[in-house]
Chain A
Amino acid sequence: MTQKNRIESGGQIDRSQTHSFTFDGKSYQGHPGDTLASALLANGVRLMGRSFKYHRPRGPLTAGSEEPNALVELRDGARQEPNTRATTTELFDGLVAKSQNRLGSLKFDLLSINDRLSNFLTAGFYYKTFMWPAAFWEKLYEPVIRHAAGLGSLSLKDDPDVYDKGFLHCDLLIIGAGPAGLAAALTAGRAGCDVILADEDFRMGGRLNSETFSLGDASGADWAKAVVAELESLPNVRVMARTTVIGAFDHGIYGAVERVSDHMHTPDTGKPRQILWRIYTKRTVLAAGATERPIAFENNDRPGIMLASALRSYANRFSVTADNCVAIFTNNDDGHRTAADLHAKGIKIAAVVDVRSDAPRNYDYEVLEGQVVDTKGRLGLTFAEVKLANGTMRTLECGALGLSGGWNPNVHLTCHQRGRPIWNEALSAFVPGDHLPAGMTVAGAASGEMSTAGALQSGVQAAQDALDLNDEAPALPQAEDAPVNLKPFWYVEGCSRAWLDQQNDVTVKDVKLSHQEGFRSVEHLKRYTTLGMATDQGKTSNMGGLAIMAELAGKTIPEVGTTIFRPPYTPTAIGVFGGRHRGQDFHPKRLTPSHRWAEEQGAVFVEVGNWMRAQWFPRAGETTWRESVDREVLATRGSVGVCDVTTLGKVDVQGTDAAEFLNKIYCNGFAKLDVGKTRYGLMLREDGIAKDDGTAARLAEDHFVVTTTTANALPVYRHMEFVRQCLFPDMDVQLISTTEAWAQYAVAGPNSRKVLEKIVDQDISNEAFPFMACANITVCGGLRARLFRISFSGELAYEIAVPTAYGDALIRKIMEAGAEYDITPYGTEALGVMRIEKGHAAGNELNGTTTAQNLGMGRMVSKKKDSIGSILSEREGLNRDDDLRQVGIKPVDAGASVPAGAHLMSLTGPIDATHDQGYVTSACYSPCLGHAIALGFLKDGSQRLGERMRLVSPLTKVETEVEIVSPHFIDPEGGRLRA
């Protein structure tokens, strides 16, 4: 069987080439220019899918992106793409498609049993049953429902294609390249404006490609082709086919998706599958056209029944007829146009059934006044039953039936910013309202201008208005200017199983039931019946439902109103919104200056925010991370270790008010800090809770270097700028984040001075450079550097910084200088162990809910000065006697662990939330002490040192007896720091 329904000649397909494709494993042929739907129809295939609920057999209803029925799984393997509209899928050689949502084959779908049970499966039936016994919902009812529901399936393999994102800017964005859009583009393009013309179709021209009438001397399609060619020749016009504008966002930003490779078997090498464009435009002309709407009657959903305009598109553009005998059911003149076009191509017109008594007559075929009241044909239409105006019945034998109930302007994008459309009586349709997105003008059928001449003219006008052009308008060709003659007609009286939402199987009966049960707001109707919630978002279904609601409620359609139009205009691949932000590229990676060196050492890295930091440096023979970490800790405390601490935030603070500024941002005082000295600073939020901690080093009277934690580098800098610009705008102080500008290493351990003395050009003896000293120095004979004698580990330690470009050289230099002391690089794990041993708070303790008091630093909050957070830190709830205090915790049994996240309970008594007294924040094994240690918060903890408690973690099934101790496990007097 080869393309038996292909019309002999005409159309915009390339008959010189043939594409082979398969549908449900069977091979077919079509031509370039076909869609999957047109090619299947050409091959005599009307049945393309099954409906959602009743699994009714379905063929295409439309020839466009509003298609609710002909959804297939396109491609196979990892590229399988569910719910793909056959009506917009461009045919390519080797295309593979499968039907979906069926149990068994498409022709014998076992779930079509649901159709027999439809009387039980009415709107909302599931809200009224499946409640007993309660446990059966998850175990029985829901799994059955879930497996029957859904449409197509994902392959569940990683999407192999690439997606890109980009920005475009223009003076005028024109959405839709039909007559109105093309006329607008010509007007603005010739005037030299920057124009983007986007159309969802692969062929520009909109309806002009689907009609037979001419524009001037040319056919509509040829006129469109010539205009597109001219536009493409203009350097200021970007013509974007296969590009759907999906949404109108704030301030003239539009989202658009260009399908770069969807018309090919696989994307070309280096090309993305799709691109998400954010188009920034000054003005917009929406020329998105209109969508024809069907009429509801009994069994109006059989394959072969489609929109009359779709039949016309298939015949004129794709040179295909759904069947060689076609009937039309219409309430307006447009339906007759389809009959005339098809007749002219030699297709038999069984009859045109028109609900109007004054329908246009035609002597080539029969025009009947009446209504189609029912149809027959199990897997495709065979007969239409017509009730004539005089009451007699007539049976039409036909394989296709075109429905024309009038046209709905595509107002969607006019409503994306909560505008509402208004009712147009002449069209019996909603047209754009007054509250359009800023900068938008609507032209052509989208504005209700239904004739071709009117569309052309409104396109020109819209472009001129939008851009305030006074240039001469392009000469427009003569074009069809027929009026809209329409008698509103939505559904056949007395019908019940008459489909409104074909995909979701919402029938007239369901809408009536919804009304009967009180779901009378249009939103309640939608939600109760699922009308308009299908993948076409109501494009083919909503108006019928509204009309019935209006009639039942005794209201007009505009009184009933519409539901809300939301982006995207058509469903859009999730992948394109993700772009290249997936896998390792999900977030950028920040590498420290010593990264390459650390890689050479075989370091294991860990993600710290976007940073990659060395976690530990395993050595040959070490089999567990603990072995490496223990070694690094012991080596550092025993001799010397080095760690890259570049990731800590650094902010340079300069100006005559620098000290006063630090007094504001830290709760403790800085005004009296001597030049050449560093001080620990605790920063509060304005609500009195600890925000961050770090050090501030005074390098000069008017120059400090502030450090922050790695995680808070950005928020702290932002906060400091807020304080500077918004609260104290006249302070003479400047801030700059220098986190990336300086490579910084901690060199710690009793031999650290000896190592650095070999590198640093100055005297750094204990006398010359005591604990908490800081200075601008030079290293290696002249390289500028900064040196701070600060310690996170509790050892004699320094942090040394050089410009980042020298970071790699410096770490190598330090290693070389330290070789004689067996200098040991250590990672974040050893860093963490040493700070817990020393009792220093870090992120786990500064968790955004703890106060200075909780941290044991209550006395640091100066009451003598104004600092951020000091007033609100005095609130009673933050100063209770039994407040949490930071404590140290060690197991009574030295072999036991004290896991972080465990809670503290008394030795006896119940274990529950009301008896909860605290929790463990940080824990580790201390190689120095030979047992596990932890930091935590305990109610009134500072008064409870020596107390035995139970540490419980029911989640990880741990219960251990512990002793509450000072958080300073190592060198509590700080002798080592000052050595």
Chain B
Amino acid sequence: MIIEHPLLGPRDAAEFTYLGDARLIDRPDWQSETAAKDFFEYGYLRDNPAGWHQELWFHEAGDRSWLVITRNTITHEISKVELARDVARSRGRSK
């Protein structure tokens, strides 16, 4: 596969390490009353869709960016590649 790195252009997927669903960005609030349940769902349950999937890849043999890649799990087509940091900020993560 080829990943269109937003900073570096097209790169071979073999340069990257895969983590999983980009929902891993949405780490729950540790102080919430439902933290135990929230962290269980965050840590263990997945949509696992057959189709478009937002997922995290790490450019391990490259610039060490974490990327959020929108990829189709049936065709492997990639429609979008973003810096995970930008996505995280857009989802309200900060410090």
Q: Considering the complex, which residues of chain B in the window 1-42 have a beta carbon less than 8 Å from any beta carbon of chain A?
A: 1-2, 17, 19, 24-25, 27-28, 30-31, 35-36, 39-40, 42
Q: Mark B54-89, 1 if CB is under 8 A from A, else 0.
A: 001010100011100000000111100001111011
Q: Using Cβ atoms and an 8 Å threshold, which residues of chain A touch B48? A: none
Size band of the A side of the interface?
Answer: 20 to 34
Q: Considering the complex, which residues of chain A in the window 695-737 have a beta carbon less than 8 Å from any beta carbon of chain B?
A: 714, 718, 721-722, 725-731
A730–B89 CB distance below 8 A: yes
B58–A871 CB distance below 8 A: no
9-residue interface stretch from A131-139, A249-257, A956-964: A249-257
* A871 vs B75: C-alpha distance when bound (angstroms): 37
Picked from A417, A687, A718, A730, the residue with its CB within 8 Å of the CB of B58 is A718
Give the interface centre of A280, A660, A728, A870 by most chain B CB atoms within 10 Å.
A728
Q: Using Cβ atoms and an 8 Å threshold, which residues of chain B touch A725? A: 65-66, 83-85, 88
| A-B contacts, CB under 8 A, total | 78
B94–A729 CB distance below 8 A: yes
The reply on A81 being an interface residue by CB < 8 A is no
A253–B2 CB distance below 8 A: yes
B94–A730 CB distance below 8 A: yes
**Least Cβ distance of B82 to chain A in Å?**
12
The reply on B93 being an interface residue by CB < 8 A is yes
- Nearest to B30 among chain A residues (CB) is A866
* A721 vs B42: C-alpha distance when bound (angstroms): 19
- Nearest to B58 among chain A residues (CB) is A718
The reply on A893 being an interface residue by CB < 8 A is no
Known: A251-B78, A874-B36. A731 touches B95 (CB 8 A): yes
B30–A870 CB distance below 8 A: yes
The reply on B49 being an interface residue by CB < 8 A is no
Q: Using Cβ atoms and an 8 Å threshold, which residues of chain B touch A252? A: 2
The number of chain B residues with a CB under 8 A from chain A is 35
**Least Cβ distance of A201 to chain B in Å?**
30
Q: Using Cβ atoms and an 8 Å threshold, which residues of chain B touch A871? A: 28, 30, 35-36, 39
Picked from A657, A686, A870, the residue with its CB within 8 Å of the CB of B95 is A657
Q: Mark A858-871, 1 if CB is under 8 A from B, else 0.
A: 00000000100011
Picked from B2, B24, B58, B93, the residue with its CB within 8 Å of the CB of A728 is B93
**Least Cβ distance of B91 to chain A in Å?**
10
* A872 vs B43: C-alpha distance when bound (angstroms): 9
* A660 vs B94: C-alpha distance when bound (angstroms): 13
B35–A729 CB distance below 8 A: no
* A607 vs B42: C-alpha distance when bound (angstroms): 37
* A644 vs B93: C-alpha distance when bound (angstroms): 41
Picked from B39, B83, B86, B93, the residue with its CB within 8 Å of the CB of A727 is B93
A721–B35 CB distance below 8 A: no
Q: Using Cβ atoms and an 8 Å threshold, which residues of chain B touch A866? A: 30-31
A729–B43 CB distance below 8 A: no
**Least Cβ distance of B11 to chain A in Å?**
11
The reply on A438 being an interface residue by CB < 8 A is yes
* A799 vs B74: C-alpha distance when bound (angstroms): 51
B43–A728 CB distance below 8 A: no
A729–B89 CB distance below 8 A: yes
A438–B56 CB distance below 8 A: no
Q: Using Cβ atoms and an 8 Å threshold, which residues of chain B touch A721? A: 58, 64, 66
A726–B88 CB distance below 8 A: yes
A872–B25 CB distance below 8 A: no
Picked from B2, B83, B88, B93, the residue with its CB within 8 Å of the CB of A280 is B2
**Least Cβ distance of B76 to chain A in Å?**
5
- Nearest to B14 among chain A residues (CB) is A278
A726–B95 CB distance below 8 A: no
* A722 vs B75: C-alpha distance when bound (angstroms): 27
Q: Using Cβ atoms and an 8 Å threshold, which residues of chain B touch A251? A: 1-2, 76, 78
* A687 vs B58: C-alpha distance when bound (angstroms): 20
A438–B77 CB distance below 8 A: yes
Picked from A727, A728, A872, the residue with its CB within 8 Å of the CB of B40 is A872
Q: Mark A382-396, 1 if CB is under 8 A from B, else 0.
A: 000000000000000
A contacts, CB < 8 Å to B:
250-253, 280, 417, 438, 657, 660, 686-687, 714, 718, 721-722, 725-731, 866, 870-872, 874-875
Chain A to chain B: the 3 pairs with minimum beta-carbon distance, closest first: A730-B94, A866-B30, A251-B2
